[in-house]
């Protein structure tokens, strides 16, 4: 999406967590501690902002959206072989109604996998990296 918008992706963290991204940014910046604008979800995970703030960055968190459960997913929607879940809030929004699933649930990373576990839907596979390729590899592993 970044590339399609004509933007250049300057950094992709080695570890797909807020702490991993913070460590990658801080390593890139060296001793500098710039002001950071962090677009985020309302009620989203605070780790990235907290790590940057603790390291001395002036942080402004801008909550731009909120994930909310919609109506319970239809049986037709859930009649799939696999569900790809890309965030804890997405997991909660999709699975809040406790649907009966036969699908394998694939998580984009360990934080999302933990949220799925809390909801009673353990991940069949977890992407090693939070990228489209990582998610596809996890999907293939879950379905094999």
Beta strand spans in the chain (E):
36-41, 59-65, 82-85, 104-107, 125-126
Q: What is the mean pLDDT of residues 98-121?
A: 91
Phi, psi values for residue 59, rounded to 5°: -110, 130
8-state DSSP, 73: P
Query: Mean pLDDT in the chain?
Result: 88
The region that residue 48 occupies, defined by phi over 0 for left and psi between -120 and 50 for alpha, beta otherwise, is alpha
Chain segment 72-98, per-residue pLDDT in tens: 777 777 789 999 999 888 888 888 777
Tell me which of 15 and 96 has the higher pLDDT.
96
- How many CA atoms are closer than 13 Å to the CA of 15, on its beta-carbon side? 12
The two structure tokens encoding residue 93: 């929004």
Chain segment 114-135, per-residue pLDDT in tens: 999 999 999 999 999 888 889 9
The two structure tokens encoding residue 70: 């919609």
Tell me which of 37 and 18 has the higher pLDDT.
37
């Amino acid at each position: 999406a970044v590339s399609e918008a004509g933007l250049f992706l300057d950094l992709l963290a080695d570890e797909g967590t807020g702490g991993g991204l913070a460590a990658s940014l801080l390593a890139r910046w060296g001793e500098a501690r710039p002001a950071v604008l962090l677009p985020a979800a309302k009620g989203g995970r605070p780790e990235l902002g907290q790590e940057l703030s603790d390291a001395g960055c002036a942080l402004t968190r801008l909550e731009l959206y909120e994930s909310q459960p919609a109506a319970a997913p239809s049986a037709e929607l859930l009649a799939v072989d696999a569900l790809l879940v890309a965030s804890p809030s997405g997991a909660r929004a999709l699975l809040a109604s406790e649907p009966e699933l036969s699908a394998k649930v694939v998580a984009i990373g360990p934080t999302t996998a933990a949220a799925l576990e809390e909801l009673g839907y353990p991940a069949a596979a977890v992407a090693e990296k939070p990228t489209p390729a990582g998610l596809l590899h996890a999907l293939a592993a879950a379905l094999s």
